[in-house]
C-alpha cells in the first residue's frame, strides 16, 4: 500500500521481530509497532492493532514463526508440545475470522515436518513469509477479476475496511477499485463509516485518500438512500468467513446492505480469498459471532480538540449496549464471490469445486 508516497505492508517480520502498522491510530497518526513474543502477538490481534481477516492471518503466521525462532529447544522432540501451546494461545485471540485458524494450521503442519531444531527455525521464517506472499498474490488476483465487473463511471459502496491494511497488501474489496483506478477508469467510492469502530471512515477513507481515489464517507444508515436514488450501482465488501453453503460472515451491518441492495436490484459482491472459505462449516448460522466490549458502542473515538487521540461518551451515563462484531449475510443476497480463482456463485457446488 502507498502511505505518504512510500510502499508498506500491514505486517512483516525482520530478524525475529514482527513489525506492524498500528491500525488503532489511523488516520490521525501513522505508527509502526514492534511485537517481540506470543503474548504481544495475541494482544495485537485481540485489541485490533491489526484487523481484517488476511492481516490477522499473516500476523498469526509470523507469531508462530517468531515463537519457534526465539524458543530454546532442548531437542526437536520438544517442538510438537511447544507448538500446541503457541497455536492455542494465538487462536484464542479472536473467534470469527477463518484466516486466523487457517494460518496457524498452515504453520503448525509445515513446522512439524522439521527434522532438527535448526531446520525448524529456518522453516519458520520461510513458511511465514510464504504465507504472507500467497495472501498478497491472492488479493492482487481478486482485484484483477473484480475489475471486470466495474464499468467506467462505477459508483461503489463499501462497508468496513477491506483494503491493504486489512490484508497484507493490495486489499480484497478495495483491490478491484485500485486496479480499476490504475487502468484509468472513473471510479467513485461511497465509504460506510462502519460504527462502532469506524473502520470505514477512519481506515478505508485513509487508504483511498493516499491512493488518490475519489470517495465520500457516509453514515451507515445512509446507504439505502443513495441506492434508492441511483447513486450506487454496485456493492463490494470483504469477508471474515464463508460457509459451505455460501453464507458470508462480515462486519456488522453487511447483512443490512445486502438486503437493501437486493431490493434495489444492485449487484452485491463479496471478495473472498480461498483462505476465508470454510467448507467444514455448513451454514453461516454455525459460525460463532464475536461480541465485543459494550464501550465501543457507548463511546466514540477520534481526534479531540486538544490534538490528542481519545474518546467521548455518546450515550447516557450507565447506558447498556450490545456489540456484535459481525453478522451473517445469507447466500441468496449475494451476486457472486470474487476469489483468486475467479468469480463464482455462492452455492455449495461452486464452493466445493473451487476449493478442490
pLDDT at 310: 87
Phi and psi dihedrals of 133, rounded to 5? Answer: -65, -40
Are 48 and 126 within one domain?
A: yes
Do 152 and 134 belong together in one domain?
Answer: no
pLDDT band at 4 (very low <50, low <70, confident <90, very high): confident
Cβ(278)–Cβ(353) below 8 Å: no
Domain count, the chain: 2
316's CB contacts (< 8 A; 6+ apart) are: none
Residue 75 belongs to a domain with what CATH number? 1.20.120.420
Is 70 in contact with 18 (CB distance < 8 Å)? Answer: no
Q: Report whether pLDDT(141) > 90.
A: yes
Q: Are 333 and 261 in contact (CB under 8 A)?
A: yes
Same domain, 45 and 173: no
Is residue 97 scored above 90 in pLDDT? no
- Of 122, 140, 158, the residue that ends a domain is 140
143-157 tens-digit pLDDT: 999 999 999 999 999
User: What's the CA gap between 236 and 136, in Å, rounded?
Assistant: 19
Same domain, yes or no: 135 and 248: no
- Which is more confident, 62 or 1? 62
Q: Is there a single domain that holds both residue 199 and residue 343?
A: yes
Do 230 and 195 lie in one domain? The reply is: yes
> Are 111 and 199 found together in one domain?
no
159 and 121 within one domain: no
**Among 290, 287, 269, which residue's Cα sits nearest to residue 278?**
287
Same domain, 134 and 154: no
Chain-centre distance for alpha carbon 126? 23
- Whether this model's pTM surpasses 0.85: yes
| Integer Cα distance of 166 and 131 in angstroms | 15
Structure confidence at residue 340 (pLDDT):
98
- Domain of residue 265: give its range: 148-355
pLDDT of the residue at 143: 98
Q: Select from 115, 140, 165 the last residue of a domain.
A: 140
Tell me which residues are annotated as active site: 240
Do 338 and 263 sit in the same domain of this protein?
Answer: yes
Q: What is the dihedral of CA 334, 143, 191, 278, to 10 degrees?
A: 50
User: Are 195 and 62 in the same domain?
Assistant: no
Q: What is the tens place of the pLDDT at every residue in 225-275?
A: 999 999 999 999 999 999 999 999 999 999 999 999 999 999 999 999 999
* End position of a domain, from candidates 140, 170, 187: 140
CATH of residue 308's domain is 3.40.50.10470
Rounded to the nearest 10 degrees, what angle do helices 98-111 and 79-91 cross at? Answer: 170
Residues 62/106, Cβ–Cβ less than 8 Å: no
Whether residue 182 sits in one domain with residue 73: no
The DSSP bridge pattern shows strands 188-192 and 215-218 to be parallel
Q: Using CB atoms within 10 Å of the CB of residue 290, give its burial: 0 to 12 exposed, 13 to 18 middle, 19+ buried.
A: middle
Q: Sign of torsion, CA 170 100 249 243?
A: positive
Amino acid at each position: 500500500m502507498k502511505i505518504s508516497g512510500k510502499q508498506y505492508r500491514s505486517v512483516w517480520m525482520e530478524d525475529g521481530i514482527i513489525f506492524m502498522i498500528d491500525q488503532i491510530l489511523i488516520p490521525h497518526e501513522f505508527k509502526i509497532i514492534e511485537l517481540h513474543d506470543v503474548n504481544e502477538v495475541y494482544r495485537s490481534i485481540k485489541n485490533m492493532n491489526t484487523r481484517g481477516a488476511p492481516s490477522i492471518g499473516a500476523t498469526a503466521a509470523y507469531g508462530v514463526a517468531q515463537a519457534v525462532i526465539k524458543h530454546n529447544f532442548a531437542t526437536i522432540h520438544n517442538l510438537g508440545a511447544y507448538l500446541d501451546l503457541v497455536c492455542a494461545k494465538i487462536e484464542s485471540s479472536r473467534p470469527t475470522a477463518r484466516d486466523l485458524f487457517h494460518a496457524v494450521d498452515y504453520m503448525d503442519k509445515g513446522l512439524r515436518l522439521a527434522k532438527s531444531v535448526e531446520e525448524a527455525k529456518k522453516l519458520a521464517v520461510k513458511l511465514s513469509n510464504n504465507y504472507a506472499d500467497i495472501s498478497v498474490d491472492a488479493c492482487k488476483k481478486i482485484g484483477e477479476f473484480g475489475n471486470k465487473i466495474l464499468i467506467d463511471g462505477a459508483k461503489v459502496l463499501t462497508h468496513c475496511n477491506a483494503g491493504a491494511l486489512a490484508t497484507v497488501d493490495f486489499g480484497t474489496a478495495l483491490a478491484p477499485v485500485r486496479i480499476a483506478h490504475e487502468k484509468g477508469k472513473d471510479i467513485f467510492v461511497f465509504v460506510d463509516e462502519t460504527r462502532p469502530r469506524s473502520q470505514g471512515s477512519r481506515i478505508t477513507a485513509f487508504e483511498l485518500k493516499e491512493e488518490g481515489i475519489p470517495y465520500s464517507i457516509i453514515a451507515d444508515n445512509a446507504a439505502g438512500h443513495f441506492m434508492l436514488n441511483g447513486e450506487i450501482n454496485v456493492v463490494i465488501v470483504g469477508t471474515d468467513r464463508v460457509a459451505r453453503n455460501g453464507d458470508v460472515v462480515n462486519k456488522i451491518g453487511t447483512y443490512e446492505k445486502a438486503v437493501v441492495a437486493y431490493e434495489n436490484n444492485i449487484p452485491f459482491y463479496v471478495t473472498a480469498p480461498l483462505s476465508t472459505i470454510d467448507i467444514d462449516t455448513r451454514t453461516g448460522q454455525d459460525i460463532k459471532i464475536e461480541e465485543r466490549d459494550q464501550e465501543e458502542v457507548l463511546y466514540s473515538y477520534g481526534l479531540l480538540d486538544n490534538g490528542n487521540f481519545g474518546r467521548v461518551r455518546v450515550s447516557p451515563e450507565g447506558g447498556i449496549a450490545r456489540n456484535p462484531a459481525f453478522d451473517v449475510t445469507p447466500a441468496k443476497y449475494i451476486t457472486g464471490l470474487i476469489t483468486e480463482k475467479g468469480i463464482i456463485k455462492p452455492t455449495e457446488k461452486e464452493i466445493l469445486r473451487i476449493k478442490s
